[in-house]
Amino acid sequence: MSKNEGIKPLKILFTILSVILISALAVFSYALWEDVKSTELDKLYKENQTLINQSLSFFDQQTRLIVKTVQPRFIFPKLQSKAVNNIFDYLSSATDEVAVYSLIDLQGNTLLSRG
């Protein structure tokens, strides 16, 4: 009996055990990754929905403020440029969050833009 014949079964055994352990590690890592990914996607979805709802309520509030503030001043069918500038100045003093305004007539022509 040579020296290598006793080592050969141990090599096969350790090779099989190594393959099993590496396979188990790969399966465990994949399962853990899927769990973390699923959990984080759920969290991000909820945060995204909250952000969307808050943004919608903010812009709804801004729209109501603009309509309430500016609409009574648009009684006249033809406004002078100075009157439109005064309306924009009044609107700018009413809300600090909005930085860009544009006034468009019913035909789609831009009467005044600011910002």
The pLDDT tens digits for 68-103 are: 776 666 655 565 667 667 777 777 776 676 667 777
Residue 62 — pLDDT band, cuts 50, 70, 90? Answer: confident
6 has a pLDDT exceeding 90: no
**Length of the chain as a residue count:** 115
How large is the average pLDDT for residues 12-31?
A: 96
pLDDT > 70: what percent of the chain?
A: 72
The predicted model scores a pTM of 0.49
Helix (H, G, I), strand (E, B) or coil at 111: strand
Under a CB-based contact definition with an 8 Å cutoff, are residues 100 and 115 in contact? yes
Percent of the chain with pLDDT over 90: 40
Check pLDDT > 90 for residue 10.
no
| pLDDT value of position 74 | 61
Angstrom distance (rounded) from CA 87 to CA 67: 12
Residue-level pLDDT at 57: 93
Query: What is the structure's pLDDT at 50?
Result: 96
